[in-house]
Structure 1
Amino acid sequence: MTPLSRTCRRLQDSLNSFSNTFIFIFTTSHVRTSLTPTSSTPNSLLNAALITTYPPLKLQNRKPFEAQIDDSLEQPKPIEETAFDALKPTRLPSNVPLYSMGSSSSPSHTIPVVSTFANPFETSNSIDASSSIRKPISLWPGMYHSPVTNALWEARSSTFERLLDPPLDAPPQSELLTKTPLQSRTSVLYNFSTDYILREQYRDPWNEFRIGKLLEDLDALAGTISVKHCTDDDNMTRPVLLVTASVDKMVLKKPIRVDIDLKIVGAVIWVGRSSIEIQIEVTQSTEESSDTSDEIALTANFTFVARDYKTGKSAPVNRISPETDKEKLLWEEADERNKHRKRKRECKREVENGKVDDRLEALLAEGRVFCDMPTLANRDSILSRDTRLENSLICQPQQRNIHGRIFGGWLMNRAFELAFSTAYAFAGAVPYFLEVDHVDFLRPVDVGGFLRLKSSVLYTELENPQKPLINIEVVAHIMRPELRSSEVSNTFYFTFTIRPEAMKDGLKIRNVVPATEEEALHILERMDA
C-alpha cells in the first residue's frame, strides 16, 4: 500500500468514527499546516493533513477559531496609521494549535459587541433618553429604520414614551386645542456634502438617491408632525392612536443628488373631525437654482386618522388655525382635495355599475389575439400578466412603528424596490422614477404578518418615444396560513421612464395589453385616476 493510500485509509477511518456528525472544512493558503507542500504533494493529501493535524473537536468545549497569518507571505504595508488598523487580524505564535486556544490567548484587539438598547425587564435606575449608549424601549423601533427615523423618534422621546404604554384607564382629552401650522412644523437636514457615511446609506448602485428610503423618511416625518399636533401634553389623559390613512400623488420634479445637502420640511395644513393632512416638501438647492421654487424636488401630502386607544373608534383631533396667506391657501387646497376624493369614490361606483366607455373593447382586442392565437400576436406587445414579479416575507419586530404595527414607510420602501425591479426587468434598462400615485392603507400589517407583494406592468404610454411611461402596480397581501385567508393591505402605483440616452441606443419599450375584461376595466380606472 502506498503512503497516499495509507493516509486516505486513516482519513476514512477517522471520518467513520464521527456518527451523525456534520463536518464543515474551510481551507486557505494562509493557514499553517504540519505538512509542507512541495511540487509533488497532491492537493488531496494537503487537505487531509489539514484535517488530521488537530484532534477531533469536542462540540461542548469549542473555542473561537483564529487563523494564523503566514509570515513568509509578503503583506502590503498601510500607507498611514488609521482607526481601522485595530481591526487587523492578530498574529498568533506558531506553536499554538488553532482549535485549542485558551481564554488567555485570545486576541488583544477583540471588539466587544454591546447592546445599545436597555432591557425593559431590568429593575434598574431610570434610563436617560439622551444617552448615546443605551436607549429606552420607546426608541427601539427607530434604531432599525433609517437615520432620519431614529433622529425623529429621539427628538420626540418624551411623547413617544407616553404613546408606548398609554394609560387606558385615563380619560380621553376633554378639551380640543387650537394650534397653528407653525407649532407642528418640523424639518430634517441631510448633510450629504459633509457626512460621507450618511451619503453611503442613501446611495444606490448607480450613484443616485434611493427613492424608497426617502418615502420611508417622509412617512416617519409625517407621523412625528401628526403627534405634535394631536398631543395635549397632559399625562393624565390618554393619547389618540394615529395611523397613516393615505398618501396623495407624489411627483418628482427634478433629480435628487446624493452629494448635495437635502432638506425635508413639513407641517399640518388641514384638519377634519378625526383626520389631519400633512404636507412635506423635499428641497435641494444647487448652483443652478435661481429661486426657491426651483429647489423643490418633491411634494408629499399624507393623511392620518385618529383612533381612540381604548375603543378603536374615531377620535376628534385638535383644531388648526392658519395664520399666513400661504397657510390659508394650503388649507383651501387641502379642503378641495378632500372633496375631490369623495367625488372620485362616487365615480368609481358608477364604473362598477357598468357605465364604461368604448375604450374597453379596444383594450381587449389585442389581448384576445394573445390568448387565442399567440403565434400571430404582435411581437411589440406583451400581456400584463407576463410581466409579474413578487416577494414574500415575514414582518419582523424591527420593522414596527411606535404603536407596534408595521411601519407604513417601510411598506412603501419595499413596494418601491419591487416596482423598480419590475420596471428594470421589463425595459431591459435602469428605470428612472417619476411619480407614485395615491396610496390607501386599507388594513394594518401586524408584526409576524406573512406579507406577499405582487407587482406587474399595468400599462405603458408610448406616445413620446423618447420618454415612454411604464406604470407599475404593486399589491400587498396579508396572508394568514393558519386561518386559510388572504387580504389586500395596500395597493401602490408607480410610474417610471427610461433615460433618453438609453432610448438612443435602439431600446424599444413594448406595449402592455390586458388578457381579461377585469384587467381592462382596472387599466381604464387607473388611466382616469
Structure 2
Amino acid sequence: MRPPPRNLSSFLSISISATRSLLTKPHLPSPRNPPNPFPQTATQPITKLLPLSSVPPQKPSQLPPRSHHFASRPPRSSSRSRPISSFGQIPPEDSSPESMDSSSPPIRVASTFASPFDSSPPHIDASSSFRKPISLWPGMYHSPVTNALWEARSSIFERLLDQSKDGPPQTELLTKTPSQSRTIIIYNFSSDYILREQYRDPWNEVRLGMLLEDLDALAGTIAVKHCSDDDSTTRPLLLVTASVDKMVLKKPIRVDTDLKIAGAVTYVGRSSIDIQIEVTQFQQDNPVPSDSIALTANFTFVARDSKMGKSAPVNRLLPESEQEKLLFKEREARDKLKKKKREEQRKGIENGGHNFHGEVARLNNLLSEGRIFCDFPALADRHSILLRDTCLENSLICQPQQRNLHGRIFGGFLMHRAFELAFSTAYAFLGQRPCFLEVDHVDFLKPVDVGDFLRLKSCVVYTQRENLEQPLINIEVVAHVTRPELRTSEVSNTFYFTFTVNQDALANGFRIRNVVPATEEEARRILERMDAEKIYS
C-alpha cells in the first residue's frame, strides 16, 4: 500500500541523491563455476546508497589539462543585454552550502554512476524502484539534477491518478511569497569527480546543453511549489514552459568548482508565472558575491487545468524584501511593454502596415547583395555568404526515455538538443569554436509527444559586425513535428541563440562574414527577428 503523499516542501527540504537504483553486492562465483547469466531467483536488493566517501579521489594526472581559451573573452556588451538584478547574495567569507540560504535547504546532487574503482561493483536490480506507479515515471535520459528535482515533486503528480483528477479545481487562491518557492541546487563538482565527468564538455567546462536542461527542470519545480495548495481533494494544475526570455552567460562555468543554482518566482499574472534563476560559482582568487554570478535566466510558465485544458488562475505573489519588490516591478513593467508592442504590431498588420514603404525599402536593402550572389556569383562580395549556405539539420524520433512527468517530451531536452545544433552551426560558420553569449528567446508553441518525428533546422539568421571587439552571430533553430503519413509539418518550438568569436582570434585579424538572404521570405525572417530583438531586449 502506497504511503500517504507528502507535500512538496518536505521533499525539497531533504538532501536528494539522483541515484535511485537499488544496489546489492553480488555473490562472487568460483572461477570454475561461472555465473548463470539468467538466474531463476532474484537477489534481494540493498537499499543503502553508496557514500561519496567510498569514491577514491581522482589524481591530477587523470584529468585533461584545463583550457584557457576564455581567458581573454570580453564581458557582454551592455548594449545587448540589460543587467538583471540579483535576488540573493552570498557572504564571501562563508560559502558553504549550509550557509547559502537558511530558509530553503539546498538540494544536493550526486552522480548517477558508481565508482569504477570499487573492488566489488554492486549489482543493479532493474526490477526494483522506489517510485510507483510506473505511469508516472519520467524518462531515464535526463541529467542527475533533473532526476533529483522530479523525484522531489513526484508526490504531487501521483494525485493525478487518485480521485483528485476528477475532483474540483482550486477555487480559493493563496498568497505566497518568493521565499516559499525559492529552491537551491548544489553541484559538488570539487568532491564528486564522477558527477564532474557527467557534466564535462570537451574543453573542460560545464556542458551548457545539460545545464539548460537542469534550469528548465528547476524552473518547473519552482512553479509547482508556487501553485501547490497542499489540498489533496483538488486537482493539481498542469504547468507548461511558455518561453525563455534572455538567458545570459556572463562568464565561463568551470567544471572543477562547486556550482550553485538558485531561483524563485518574481512575478505572476492571471495564469502565468515568471521565474528568475541565477547560477553562481565562486573563484578562490575573487570571492566577491557580485562577481560570482555566471548566468542569469528568466522563464515563463503558464498554468492549465489538468482536466479541461484551459488556462487556470495561479496563486498570488506577495514580495517581501526591497529586492523582491524591485524585481516584481521590473517584470510587471516589462510584461506591459511587451503586450503594448505586440498590440502595435497587430494593429499595423490589420491596417495594411503603418509604414509600408519603409518595410519595402528594408527588404530591398537586404535583398540587394543576395541578388548579386544569385545573378552574378563571381562579382559577389567575398566577405558575405548566403543564409541558405549556413544551414544544418538534425532529425530524431522522440523516445519515451525523453518524456517528462506529464508524459510529453521534456522541454529541457528540446533546449539541450537545440543548443548543441546551434553551437555546431556557429562552429561550422566561423571555422573555429564559438563563444556562447546568451539564449535570446525560446518559444514553446506546441507540445511534442513520444513517438513524434522531430526535425531541427538551424541557420545563421544574421550577423552584427558593427562592434569589431565583439561581433555577434545570431542563430535560429526551428523544431518541426512532422507526420509523413499525413504529409504535415508543424512548428513546435523556436530557439534563438547568440554567439561571438574568441578574443584571441579577433586580435589576430579574424573577421566574420555578413549573412545575406536570397529570397524575400528569408529577408522577412531577418527583419522579424531584428524587430523581436527590440521587444525582448
TM-score, normalised relative to structure 2: 0.73
My pick for the range that moved more, 457-466 or 226-235, is 457-466
User: In 1, Cα distance between the equivalents of 2:528 and 2:171?
Assistant: 43
Match among 488, 491, 494 for residue 491 of structure 1? 494
Contact 1:164–1:403 under 8 Å retained in 2? no
Matched, 1:503 2:506: yes
Matched, 1:174 2:171: yes
Structure-1 residue corresponding to 2:205: 208
User: What's the offset of the Cα at 1:257?
Assistant: 1.1
User: In 2, Cα distance between the equivalents of 1:348 and 1:262?
Assistant: 42
Secondary structure, counterpart of 1:362 in structure 2? helix
Match among 410, 421, 424 for residue 424 of structure 2? 421
Pair 259,83 (structure 1): closer, same or farther in 2 beyond 3 Å: closer
Secondary structure, counterpart of 1:141 in structure 2? coil
Matched, 1:193 2:204: no
What amino acid is the match of 2:500?
T
Structure-2 residue corresponding to 1:412: 415
Gapped runs of 5+ residues in structure 2?
1-35, 38-113
Deviations 1:215-263 (A, max 9, x none): 1111000100111111111111111111111111111111111111111
What amino acid is the match of 1:420?
F
What amino acid is the match of 1:391?
N
Deviations 1:75-105 (A, max 9, x none): xxxxxxx975789xxxxxxxxxxxxxxxxxx
Match among 240, 248, 270 for residue 251 of structure 1? 248
User: In 2, Cα distance between the equivalents of 1:110 and 1:150?
Assistant: 23
Contact 1:138–1:160 under 8 Å retained in 2? no
Equivalent residues, number: 416
* Residue pairs, 1:292-307, within 5 angstroms: 292-307=289-304
* Residue pairs, 1:328-477, within 5 angstroms: 328-349=325-346, 352=349, 353-354=352-353, 355=355, 356-357=358-359, 358-477=361-480
Deviations 1:456-511 (A, max 9, x none): 01111122334321110000001112222110011111011111223345543211
Contact 2:163–2:233 under 8 Å retained in 1? no
Contact 1:423–1:496 under 8 Å retained in 2? yes
User: In 2, Cα distance between the equivalents of 1:264 and 1:188?
Assistant: 5
Contact 1:139–1:153 under 8 Å retained in 2? no
User: In 2, Cα distance between the equivalents of 1:149 and 1:116?
Assistant: 22
Structure-1 residue corresponding to 2:520: 517
Contact 1:153–1:160 under 8 Å retained in 2? no
User: In 1, Cα distance between the equivalents of 2:333 and 2:370?
Assistant: 39
| Identical amino acids, percent of aligned pairs | 71
User: In 2, Cα distance between the equivalents of 1:83 and 1:211?
Assistant: 24
Find runs of 4+ consecutive structure 1 residues off by over 6 angstroms: none
Secondary structure, counterpart of 2:212 in structure 1? helix
User: In 2, Cα distance between the equivalents of 1:161 and 1:360?
Assistant: 53
User: In 1, Cα distance between the equivalents of 2:127 and 2:435?
Assistant: 38
What amino acid is the match of 1:228?
K
Structure-2 residue corresponding to 1:154: 151
My pick for the range that moved more, 138-147 or 375-384, is 138-147
Structure-1 residue corresponding to 2:276: 279
Structure-2 residue corresponding to 1:224: 221
User: What's the offset of the Cα at 1:111?
Assistant: 7.8
TM-score, normalised relative to structure 1: 0.74
Structure-2 residue corresponding to 1:316: 313
What amino acid is the match of 1:179?
K
Secondary structure, counterpart of 1:487 in structure 2? strand
Pair 111,230 (structure 1): closer, same or farther in 2 beyond 3 Å: closer
What amino acid is the match of 1:452?
R
Secondary structure, counterpart of 2:298 in structure 1? strand
What amino acid is the match of 2:125?
V
Deviations 1:192-230 (A, max 9, x none): 111111111111111122111111111000100111111
User: In 2, Cα distance between the equivalents of 1:84 and 1:298?
Assistant: 33
Pair 456,444 (structure 1): closer, same or farther in 2 beyond 3 Å: same
Contact 1:387–1:426 under 8 Å retained in 2? yes
Contact 2:140–2:402 under 8 Å retained in 1? no
Pair 243,166 (structure 1): closer, same or farther in 2 beyond 3 Å: farther
Contact 1:437–1:494 under 8 Å retained in 2? yes
User: What's the offset of the Cα at 1:364?
Assistant: 1.2
Structure-1 residue corresponding to 2:99: none
Secondary structure, counterpart of 2:486 in structure 1? coil
User: In 2, Cα distance between the equivalents of 1:296 and 1:112?
Assistant: 41
Deviations 1:17-70 (A, max 9, x none): xxxxxxxxxxxxxxxxxxxxxxxxxxxxxxxxxxxxxxxxxxxxxx98xxxxxx
Contact 2:470–2:501 under 8 Å retained in 1? yes
